[in-house]
Structure 1
Amino acid sequence: MGKLHRPGRPDDLPDARLLWARWAAVAVATYDRDEEREPQQHRSGYWIDDDGLHWDDCGCTWWVLKWFGDGRAVLVGEDESSKVKWYEPAIDLLAGAPEWLPRRYLQELIDDYMVGCIYWFDEGAWHRAPYPDDLADDGLDCGISALTTRAGAVGEIAEQLEFDNTDTGMPELCEQLIDDAEHGALTETGL
């Protein structure tokens, strides 16, 4: 897994298209059709829906990555390691944010103490609000680091599907899936 700074920095994240490809590959590879059919209050794991890509451990970690057209994306979420929502005085997570961000949605999450950090991708780079120098962690590392590297994404598929090194051909299959996703060659028949 990639080791990110604590607190995270925008340059810790790969290009949003690459992050999306890896995340989508993990979501597709670990999709559980039976879980989707179960009536439940809260879903766990990785998934894709109209609101974007999701990761939720049904505990203290949740993340969403969503596109907003024209090469713009938002990454929002929380890991229990984040110190942001408890920092005094409160950190304005939308400081310096562009107008296209879904401010009402994000502010509601912030007001409900649901957000550890918000990053936005615009003009080919990730950005976030400025943090105080003494902020220890925003949760980005613990929450999203597995998807920031190719090896991390491969490992995440193997971990989610409970593969180990004795599962013949599985490490190579996971590696090929991420490779196909990163190169835009992932197809339904390739699964």
Structure 2
Amino acid sequence: MHTPSRPEDLDHPEQLWARAAIMAMVDAACSSGTEFALDEDGLWCHSTGGDGWWRLSVFDGGRAVFCGQDPDGSHTHVGDEQIDFLAGGPDWLPWELLRDDARGNLFGFVYWWENGAWHRIPYPEEVREDGLDGAAPWVGSHEEFLGLAASSFDAPHVHERALAGAVDRFAALVRDGRADADAVTALLTEPGAEGRPAPRIDVALDIATRAGILA
């Protein structure tokens, strides 16, 4: 990933949506206090560690927005002026939601997908980092996605490689349109994930269904 990040660092929105949905599904099923949410505004991670966050929203017509911040890596001001991460954005952006985020100085990056490519504002020369890699390294790396999803099982470290393999197989089913309730159950009860409270499979199925990743 470039520093600062560039639009070409993000994979296709369909890939990002599937990854985000799988991470949310696993975390909600296996954690007592998940940081993920799925609502009318998109898929969220409210805390990526150190109060970082991201949100992925998809819209009709093949459009999408990915935004967020990493407090340790996002450069949000030049001098005393807050950077306008929405400058020149297209009319279809969810402006009310994004302006509310901007008023709270919550942005370190805003990318939008239109006409087959990601876009962002031209950064001022002073911006050395936008925090995308810190807040969401998985947007350009399948391996990062697998590691993050596997870690949500909260299983012993020795099992994370095997669990990452299970996540990879499930992601392939999603990509091929063949993921179903049985596949969700198999993933969440994968050998190596034992020794924890039983996963909340009903919660996982609810997220997977609402996110549209099941056949």
The TM-score normalised by the length of structure 2 is 0.75
Q: CA deviation at 1:116?
A: 1.2
**Aligned 1:31-180 pairs, distance under 5 A:** 31-32=28-29, 35=32, 44-57=34-47, 59-88=50-79, 89-163=81-155, 164-166=157-159, 169-180=162-173
**Which range moved further: 50-59 or 110-119?**
50-59
CA change 1:168–1:115 in 2 (3 A) is: closer
Runs of 4+ with >4 A deviation: none
Matched residue type, 1:13: L
Q: CA 1:133–1:34 in structure 2 vs 1: closer, same or farther (change >3 Å)?
A: closer
Distance across 1 between alignment mates of 2:144 and 2:168: 10
1:116 corresponds to which letter in structure 2?
G
CA–CA distance in structure 1, aligned partners of residues 56 and 161 of structure 2: 33
Aligned residues: 181
Contact 1:22/1:178 (8 A) holds in 2: yes
Q: 1:28 matched to which residue of 2?
A: 25
Q: Tell me which amino acid in the other structure corresponds to 1:138.
A: D
Deviation at 1:34, TM superposition (A): 7.6
Please state how far the C-alpha of 1:67 moved relative to its aligned partner. 1.0
Structure with the larger helix share:
2
Q: Partner letter of residue 73 of structure 1? A: A
Q: 2:108·2:131 contact (CA, 8 Å) conserved in 1?
A: yes
How far does residue 152 in structure 1 lie from its aligned partner after superposition? 1.4
2:211 matched residue in structure 1:
none
Tell me the TM-score normalized by structure 1: 0.84
Provide the rounded CA distance (Å) in 2 between the counterparts of 1:173 and 1:12.
25
Distance in 2 separating the partners of 1:69 and 1:20 = 14
Q: What's the % identity of the aligned pairs?
A: 30
CA drift of 1:44 comes to: 4.1
